[in-house]
Structure 1
Amino acid sequence: MHTNMIDIDGVELWTEEFGDVTHPPILLVMGSMTQGVLWPDEFVGRLVAAGRRVIRYDHRDTGKSATFDFAKQPYTWHDIRDDVLRVMDAYGLDSAHLVCHSAGGLLGQFIAADHPERVRTLTVIGSSPLGGREGEVIMRALTGQPQPEGSLPPPRPEFVAHFQKAIAAPPPADRREQVERMIEEARVLHGIGLPFDEDAERRLQERVLERARDLSSLVNHRLAHAACPDFEPADDVLGRITAPTLVIEGTHEPAKPGHSAIIAERIPGAELLMIEGMGHLLPPQRYEQLATAIVRHTTR
């Protein structure tokens, strides 16, 4: 394992590399406002043991990567997308296997469509189809507005109930309360199909807090998304993707239920894999199944 701080185009990003540099490279891309260490160490280890070179990183304004004063240094989701390419450039990778989670899947879809030469294969986990306006669907659900005809399936009731309560709650009084709220959010995103390890989640969230330069900077990702409404184009972006694509969703996905089937339908030749009992997060009970599927998919 090697940890590197890279600086390309004035953007400092924390990265971590595992495995033999001669092995096929997998770049792990996490979701919005999420640190790279949310890719579980044991899951990463399984990929490395199967003969993959694995790289994970913190998005800008998360974890140990650079934080920005958005008023003075605004950016958009196009910039967050281009950070994926910056990481690849820093490691001298002309192309890589992209494995993307949640909103990271939107980044992966966009890169696969616009820069096909950089993507060997694409794996999208717990994500939504680019162009589906998933954020609008969630906001309508949280505010009780009806969904327009033809919109993506809305989040499950337990997801809506939790985040309606979270939005109305006052800021946490102290660190302990903040960790407890993060655990409760993880419990909802975990789904209802597999046991939830509260102690392990507490250790993870403490780690997230400890390594964050400035936890308040996470909100910049929302500002960046609002700054570029054209990030999700209306044309058939997914139809342009030529990279072999694996789309994964848990049978208990609370945030984006059924979205993976739409992605798989719109990307030519894409494969859909449903993981029994999994919610939105990556549960320890399914590390082996997930890693096995990804290793098979990246054997190209």
Structure 2
Amino acid sequence: MAERMIETTGIRLCTESFGNPSDPPVLLIMGTGASMLWWEEGFCRMLAEGGPRFVIRYDHRDTGRSVTYEPGRPGYSGADLVDDAVRVLDAHGIPAAHIVGVSAGGALAQLLALEHARCVLSLVLISTSSAVPGDSDGDRELPPPTEEFMRFVSTVDVDWSDADSVIDYQVAYARVLAGGRRPFDETAARGLVRRDVERANDFAAARNHDSLPDGEPPRAPLSSIAVPTLVIHGTADPMFPLRHGEALAERIPAAGLLALADAGHGVERTDWPTIVAAILDHTGTGTGTADRAS
């Protein structure tokens, strides 16, 4: 494990790697407002040692130790977050990697495959939905978030200047995202959230992700994605109900779908063995031995 700060085109991004750089590379992309800590260390080690694979996680802008902007004035777009994934790969001398994205990170992964296809060996899309609007009736009828989820996000009250208030909010949000069908480990969630808040340059800056402009939409449809793709989705996901994952797998040619019974939104510890095994199997069928840049 080695944390490394990279700087490219004036952007400082904090990255961390696991495993041997000579092994097939896997880039992990986290979701909105979440630092790389949400790809938990135990998960990263399991993935790196199980392949073996060279696993990289990183802090998005405005999270963790990466560059931080004034809350409410980020000065960048969602498209820049897509480009940041390329910056991370370039800084590590990796021309192409297997890309694993969760939630909004899954949307970034889709856009990466559409706009920087040379960088993508395969895709694993977890707890996410189509990043490119579709024109089919099936896409228009995708189910909304659950009533419990909407009630929480519409009524929550958090003081972003107070760390304890933010921690309480993040733990409550994690409980809602878990979907309610499994026991919720509040102690573990609180420990992770506290580490995340204490580690951040400015934990209030993560709110910038909620108001980013998307940038120019991709010109190509999801059906143009040609790399092997696996969609992993919990059956109890309250943000993107299962139909979102099914529709995504239908739109990307030959994509596979792994439904996790009673799982919510995200990468739950209970599912680590299943998810890691699926990623290793999926990335083992790709061209993970592509030459690395010198």
Q: Same fold (TM over 0.5)?
A: yes
1:255 to 239, 256, 259: 239
Q: Secondary structure at the match of 2:4?
A: strand
Any residues of structure 2 matched to 1:204-223 within 5 Å, and which?
A: 204-223=192-211
TM superposition shift of 1:70: 7.2
Determine the structure 1 residue equivalent to 2:42: 42
Aligned residue for 2:290? none
**Corresponding position of 1:81:** 82
Cα-Cα RMSD: 1.9
Alignment deviations for residues 219-267 of structure 1 (CA, whole Å, 9 cap, x no partner) = 2223323x63x44x5x652011001000010010000012111110000
Deviation string for 1:93-138 (max 9, x for gaps)?
A: 00000000001111111111222221111000001101239xxxxx
Corresponding position of 1:93: 94
Q: Does 1:155 align with 2:155?
A: no
Deviation at 1:160, TM superposition (A): 0.9
State TM-score, norm by structure 1: 0.88
Q: Which residue matches 1:104? A: 105
Tell me, in whole angstroms, the C-alpha distance in 2 between the residues paired with 1:162 and 1:211: 26
> What secondary structure does 1:123 align onto?
strand
Structure 2, unpaired ranges of 5+: 287-294
Seen in structure 2, the aligned counterparts of structure 1 residues 218 and 177 have a Cα distance that, compared at 3 Å, is: closer
Query: 8 Å contact 2:24–2:97 — kept in the other structure?
Result: yes
Give the C-alpha shift of residue 62 in structure 1.
Answer: 0.7
Once the two structures are overlaid, the 10-residue window that deviates more, 117-126 or 211-220, is 211-220
The count of residues paired between Structure 1 and Structure 2 equals 279
Alpha-carbon distance in 2 for matches of 1:70, 1:171: 13
Q: Which of these residues, 166, 169, 176, is aligned with residue 188 of structure 1?
A: 176
1:240 to 212, 217, 224: 224
> For the structure 1 residues 170 and 184, does the alpha-carbon distance in structure 2 shift closer, same or farther, using more than 3 Å as the test?
closer
1:1-300 correspondence to structure 2 within 5 Å: 1-50=1-50, 51-69=52-70, 74-132=75-133, 150-166=140-156, 169=157, 171=159, 174-225=162-213, 228=215, 230-231=216-217, 233=218, 237-257=221-241, 258-299=243-284, 300=286
Native 8 Å contact 1:110 1:237 kept in 2: no
Deviation at 1:73, TM superposition (A): 6.5
Please state whether the residue corresponding to 1:111 is helix, strand or coil: helix
Q: Is the 8 A contact 1:102 1:126 kept in 2?
A: yes
Which residue pairs with 2:292 in the alignment? Answer: none
Report the secondary structure of 2:113's partner residue.
helix
Identity %: 39
Cα distance in 2 for residues equivalent to 1:87 and 1:108: 13
Tell me how far apart the structure 2 counterparts of residues 73 and 246 of structure 1 sit (CA, whole Å). Answer: 32
Q: CA deviation at 1:170?
A: 5.5
In the TM superposition, residue 286 of structure 1 has moved relative to its aligned partner by: 0.8
